[in-house]
Structures are given as structure tokens and as C-alpha cells.
Chains A and B, each alone.
With several copies, the nearest count.
Chain A
Amino acid sequence: MDLQFGPEHESFRAEVRDFLGANWRRGTDVAEFRAKGVAAGYLYRNIPKRFGGSEQPADILRARIIAEEFARAKAPVEVKGNGVQMLVPTLLERGEAWQQERFIAKTLTGEYKWAQGYSEPGSGSDLASLRTRGELKDGQWVINGQKVWTSYARECHYMFALIRTEPDAPKHQGISYLLLDLNQPGIDIRPMKQINGGNDFNEVFFDNAVTPENWIVGKRGEGWNVSKSLLKHERNMLGGVDRSEALFNSLLKLARRTTMGGEPAIKAMWVRDRLAALKAELEAQRYSSNIQMTRELAGEGGGVLQMMNKLAQSNYAAAIAEAANILIEDESLISPMDNPRPGNERWVNQYMNSLAAAIAGGTSNIQRNIIADRVLGLPRDGAGA
């Protein structure tokens, strides 16, 4: 076990720091800075140069160093969102040459923003039962139906979507992966308000919406498989320990700052006990993440632990929420919604958010199915809710 970065990587770290010192300060033009970051080989490392990436050999340690140093300097990294994180890898793997040319570069710069069109009102955990239909008519797909849980759809230019194009095929084989322009009369986007008052999600209605015949990734009926690689990427995205660590640190601050019965909460034995227990869980997550990284570095794959990340993290967020709720006592009576500068009651929001974590990206029950089937090798029983 060697928890230090080796000398080669430490000199790389120095190089990154120099670059940041020279090129980034608050107010720097972000697009220009990103272009320099690509040229230096720090951003879009796994993307070919011809599409605007820096095409570097895979090196998880360098990637982590870059992440650490950019975060320390508060410098912008890659554009966030479904386009860069989900569509681009898919196009690189499965897209036709013209699709790659047309979409990747502008997605990387943030010029094209993408919405994800997967979930439907009747298709949650059983995603493959989706019913939004696409029919090929006069050289274009005509699409009718509805998607839900579409994040930031109102700010997006395009959507990648799973659409049922082969209604007579078995359910997994009747789906195609289509790209489409959201700015057309056949599409109606309606925001969905969340229980915490936010409205990042949308419903998207398709009423004879259209997209060209060749805006399809993979062949007709292959959409389910095309999307599978995306789900894998998404699960990776959720693997880090940053969120849990931020939650723990906030809770610790809360316990230091707030009082219970006139005494600082942090001095109460049960608060200390709870915090130490949560600290242990946090460290367990951290080391698990380190083990996963090490194993990916060694080409062994993240393995068992990787499949547990999501559930461990959503359980953790719920445990933090519950502890905070006890600490803030009656401050939870005040809503943080529409409140520009909430005090401790901001934890009411986290209380709600921690539920979203348990629901989003596959419910906790789906995660348990995955652990039972893939990690423990228990016999499958057809399906699970």
C-alpha cells in the first residue's frame, strides 16, 4: 500500500499548478481558458483531438491530480451535463462519422446542450416498457408520446432519446436511440416543480415531433444496448466521495454552531457518538473509492464496491439528514424555500434532497437488485420493482 503519488506524478502536479497560475484567475474568459486547458492536455483527455479533445493516454492518477488542482484553484473543468458525460462517449463508441463531426466538438464547448429522454410516466424502474413511438414517414421520424424527469430541458438545444420504433418486436428490441432538435413546434416542454420547490425537471410532450431518418445512433431496435453503456457511465459519475464529505463537514459545522438546551450541540455525548459513527462511514466510503480507483488503474475494474456506491451514498445522505433534523430542532419549522438567506433551516432542503438521491437514477430497490444479482450472484427471479 502506498498512499503517496510517485515522483513523476508529483512533478506533473507542479506543472498543472504552474499552468493554472499562469492562465486562470477570476474573470478569465472561460471558453478561452478551456481551449488552453485542452491544448495543455488537461481537459477532455479521453477525446480525440479532431473533435476538440486532448487525446491523452488514460491515466487515472493524472486525472485525479488535475481534478484536485483545478478544484483548489477554483478553475473551470469540462462542461457539465448530459451532452459531455453521456452523449459524447456514446457517439464516440457507436456514432457514425458524420454524427461525431457534427455534434461532438460543439457539445464539448457547451454550444450544444443536450437533454436526456429516457423515463416516461409509465416506465420508471421498468424503463424498457417505454411507449413513446417513432414512425418513419417520408424520410423522417415522426414522434409521439411523452418523457418525464428530463433535467434542464428548457435550457437544452437537443435531446438524445429512447423511442419505440419497432412496436412489434420484443420490448427490449423495439427501441431506437434517436437524436432530435428540441426547438420545433411538435415539442412542448413543461417544468415539473419538485417537493423542495426547485424545478430542474421537465415533462416533454411529443406531438408529431420530427427528426431526420439518419439522426439515429446504432441501428433500428438497438437503442436499449446503446443506452446501456450510458447507464454504466452514469453510475461511474456518482462514485466519488465529495458529496458525502461535504455533507459530513456541514453537519459537523452545524453541530459546532448550534445549541441544544443552551449547550453547544457538539458537546452532547450522543451528538459526538453520532458524528463519529458518520465519520467512520465517510472514511469507509473514501477508502472504497480509493480501492476502486486503484483497481481501475490496475485494469481490474471497480468490482463489488462500485456497485454499492449509489446505495451507500443515498443511505448516507439520509442518515446525515436525520441527524441534522434532530440538531436544528424547531428551526425545521421555517421553510428555506423562497428564502434568499436561510439559516439552519437550509437543512430542511437537504432533508428533501436526500430523498431525491434515493429515488433518482434508479431507486434504492433497483440498487439492491443489482447487488443481489451481480455481486452476490443470487438467482434471478425475472424482475424486481
Chain B
Amino acid sequence: MRFDLDEQQRAFQQMVADYLETECPKARALEAHDRAGADLAIWEALMELGLGGIMVPEEQGGLGLGLLDLAIIAEPIGRFAAPGPFFDHALATLAIILAGSEEQKARWLPDMATGKLRGTVALAEEKGVWTAENWTLDGEARISGAKNHVLHPEGAGLLVVGLKGGRLGVVAGDAEGLAVEMLPSTDGGRQIGRVTFSEAAIELLPRAEGARLVDAGLILLAADAFGGASACVTMAVDYAREREQFGKPIGSFQAVKHQLADMALMVEPSVGLYWYAAHAFDTDPSSARVAARLAKSHITEVYPKVARRMIEAHGGIGYTWEYGAHVWLKRALFDQAYLGMPQAHRARVADLLEW
């Protein structure tokens, strides 16, 4: 028995972390909040590193690996708060892998693996309605209606749309009858729009894997949140070691030490929650439903708390835009709210466990 990443996984994760440390310093993450419009450059570079193909089968030019391999990459992306469509493209790609026909896979996946074709997902409907069981949009060849909170819809080559009964369909990014209204996003690194379909042409994916797609999304958000939350601990600790008051580093004051220790305790032990959920997704899908919700609800609930404390630990400087600490707080709000709040997922856990 081995409950840990293997050498290859660690090396892969480290490679991405090293890359982002250079290419996505705090200033870059902050930039996405300074100007409207998606920062696609980092995503494109990550695609060049081959990260678009992690779960894509080898016959379509991918690595044929599992969600765990993808999630451990989502962690450093969250740690550096890398802006761009990593999450939504990964989910759209996974939708095709899970639910597409062989022909559809062959048609779309090779270009999605390289990033030549960028996808996104359109899932949310009314306030708080995210999950496959509650989708209402429907249609066989054309659909009408709207989806909220679609990530980076502008310029996306295809949109995977969640349909009634947990089915999934694909609408081309340039389809007629598709209209995008961009909204200001709390997390500047993730651009959001409302997408309206008016008799837009849709191509159905044969398998109704919407519920499973949402599970994967929850796990990827949990991984992003774990990376972000642990970055918050690191930032707070680093600042406390540097910043001096009363002639010594504030990190030597016991009250500050204990606050930082409590932050670390909130974050560090939760890594296994997303690992296990991703592993279960790959090997035992039925148990992944609960595990994904435990991971997402726990980690994304911790993340904003830790981000707040991190900013507080910085005092005034943390409250300045230029310092950039807020990037993580806003990403934390995103990770917590996207695909549904912790409360909603815990309610579902209770149902699934037949409490």
C-alpha cells in the first residue's frame, strides 16, 4: 500500500511549479486583475508543456493518465494563482473523454490536447444550481436558454453544455444563436460570462456523464484551493519572518506564531482529501461522488478563511492592491462558490451516505 504521489508524479508537479515560479510571479497573477480580458499566455505555455493532454488517450495524442495526475497539476496552478482557462479547458476536454463517441474524440481531442482548440463548460443555471441532476436546458439538435458563470467563453472553440438528465452536448464557439455577455469577475484570473443560446446548434455526446464531469470539476477546484491555501500559509510565514516590529520579526511573537500554526493546521492535513477523491475517481467512481464533495467542501471552505488571515497577518500592506495578497482571497471566493457552496455539497454527502 502506498498513499503518496510516485516519483514521476512528484517530478511532474515540481516541473509545473518551477515553471510557474518563474513565469507566474505574484505580479503576473495580479496583472489579470488589473486589466479586463483573459490572460491566455500562461495557459498557452502550459499547453506547450503538454498539460492539455494529461487525461487524453494516447491514440489522440495525450498521455492517457488519470484525474489524479491532472489534479496534482491543478495544485501548483492554484498555488501561483495562475490566471487563465486551465480549469475550464481541462473540464471540457474531460467531458469529451468521458462522454464522447470515438469519432468525436478523434475529431476534437488531438487539438484540445495541444491547446489548438480551446474548450469551456457551461453548467450553472439559476442561483446555486450547478449539479447535473438540476440542469434544465434540453434539446436534440438545437437549444435555447442560458447558462451562467461560463468561464472564458469569448474565443472558446467549443462549449460543453450541461443538459437535462445529466447529458452533455457541444456547441461550437462560433455557432449562430450563441451570445456572450461578459461580466466583471471577482477573480480576475478567471473571466466569466453569461451565455445565451437561441436555437443554437448542439451536438450531443452519447454518454450522460454530466454528474461525473461535475465530480471531476469539484476535485480540480479542491486541488486548486489546496494549492492556494498552502500558498497563503507560506506567504504569511514568509512575511512574519521578514517584517520587523519592536526590533524583532513579528514571527517571533508568540501570538503570531500560534495564529500561523493554526493556519497551517487548517490547511496541510487536507491534501489527502483531494488526492483520495481523484484516485477514487480513477479507480472506483462510485465512491468518488462522496469523496469529491468532502474534498471540495472542506478545502474550499478553509481557503477563504486562510486567505483572510494571511491578509490580516500582513497588516495594512496586505490590504493594498499592489501587494497582490487579494489575488488569493478572490481566487478563494471563486473556488468556494464555483460548482456550488460547501453547504450544498455537504447536504449531498449526507444524502449519499444515507444518513
Contact = CB atoms under 8 A, between A and B. Distances in A.
User: B192, B241, B308, B334: which has the most chain A beta carbons within 10 Å?
Assistant: B308
Contact of A3 (B1, B241, B273): B1
Contacts of B295: 280
Given A1-B6, A339-B184, A284 B272 contact: yes
A129 interface: yes
Given A378-B241, A379-B251, A385-B253, A332 B2 contact: no
Nearest to A149: B316
B322 to A, nearest CB: 7
A195 B319 CA distance: 6
B255 interface: yes
A280 B273 contact: yes
A225 to B, nearest CB: 19
A294 B2 contact: yes
Contacts of A256: 355
Given A287-B269, A368-B255, 4 more contacts: A261-B128, A276-B345, A287-B273, A376-B257
A337 interface: yes
A359 B340 CA distance: 30
26 contacts: A195-B326, A260-B127, A266-B355, A269-B347, A276-B294, A276-B345, A276-B346, A280-B298, A281-B298, A283-B272, A285-B269, A286-B272, A312-B269, A318-B308, A330-B340, A337-B184, A351-B333, A355-B312, A368-B261, A376-B237, A376-B261, A378-B240, A378-B249, A379-B241, A385-B246, A385-B255
Interface in B271-303: 271-273, 275-276, 279, 283, 291, 293-295, 297-298
A311 B262 CA distance: 9
Interface of B: 1-6, 68, 124, 126-128, 130, 148-149, 183-188, 192, 233, 237, 240-241, 244-258, 260-262, 264-265, 268-273, 275-276, 279, 283, 291, 293-295, 297-298, 304, 308, 311-312, 315-322, 325-326, 329, 333-334, 336-338, 340-347, 349-350, 353, 355
Contacts of B317: 121
A284 B245 contact: no
Nearest to A121: B317
Q: What secondary structure prevails in chain A residues at the interface with B?
A: helix
Contact of A368 (B186, B258, B333, B342): B258
Given A129-B246, A371-B264, A379-B252, A332 B298 contact: no
B237 A195 contact: no
Nearest to B315: A124
Contact of A272 (B130, B244, B283, B355): B355
Contacts of A259: 127-128
A277 B185 contact: no
Given A279-B294, A291-B272, A330-B148, A272 B1 contact: no
